[in-house]
Amino acid sequence: MSLVDLDGFGQHSAGEGDQPSRPRSVKGGGTGRPGADATGCRTVWGSYQVGLMRYGMVRRRLVVFPPGADRDERRAIRVWLSSALWAPLASIVVFIGLGTCHVDAYLGLCAAIAVGVGGWMWARHRAAAVRSGVRMIESMVVPSATDAGGRAREQQIRRWVTELRAADSGLADGSLSPAQHECVWNRVHAEIDVALATPIVGQVVRGRR
């Protein structure tokens, strides 16, 4: 699957039909924006990704953190959410590394599994206080297909992202206070809760509550 900016939420302004210079994941604002972490490239409220899958299917995924989560909590959430990628990779690296040191294959496998599982458990424990408040919702739509339910969910997600990005811009230019910015964040978080509890008929909705 390749990740592209189909909605114009990247670092340049692009329309639905524009071709980005390279595939990428859309994560939010840039360095120095009040709505972004100090490390840049991610917004305080979460992340948004648009992916192209097989047969031209477009997947949109919106992840919204618990409103008011501080920097350490957001970092813990991101480490936990990405553990499905880095934990297996860590296991593979350990297994290969021990193999080059001529460690017994069985012991190497056990050590590799322990590292991967241990890393995942550490990430899960680190985010324990806030992970229940993370909301993730996806839509998967084939552009050429007639799928009213899927398109309705897609439009919901795009509307939420637009509102969150507008709140980021308002915080950046001073037209919104931090409290008002968090109110928008909280409202979108609550609306996703409702959407996950009442999926659209005819659409298989993937989400996390």
Query: What's the CA gap between 145 and 206, in Å, rounded?
Result: 19
How sure is the predictor about 199, in pLDDT bands with cuts at 50, 70 and 90? low
Residue 37 is classified by DSSP as: -
Most confident of 15-24, 36-45, 177-186: 177-186
Instruction: Provide the mean pLDDT of the chain.
Output: 77
Residues 13/7, Cβ–Cβ less than 8 Å: no
Instruction: Name the least confident of 16-20, 87-91, 180-184.
Output: 16-20
Could you give the residue ranges of the DSSP H alpha helices within the chain? Answer: 71-81, 83-100, 105-126, 148-173, 178-197
pLDDT per residue as tens digits for the range 134-154:
999 998 888 766 677 778 888
**Using a CB cutoff of 8 Å and minimum separation of 24, what contacts does 3-9 make?**
3/49, 3/50, 3/51, 3/52, 4/50, 4/51, 4/52, 5/50, 6/50, 6/58, 7/50, 7/158, 7/161, 9/48, 9/161, 9/165
Question: What are 86's two structure tokens?
Answer: 């880095």
Instruction: Name the least confident of 38-42, 101-105, 116-120.
Output: 38-42
Total-model pTM: 0.67
The better pLDDT of the pair 165, 207 is held by 165
Residues 9/161, Cβ–Cβ less than 8 Å: yes
pLDDT per residue as tens digits for the range 69-84:
888 888 999 898 888 8
Task: Output the pLDDT for position 198.
Answer: 76
Query: What's the CA gap between 160 and 115, in Å, rounded?
Result: 38
Strand order in the sheet with 207-208: 2-3, 46-52, 58-64, 135-141, 207-208
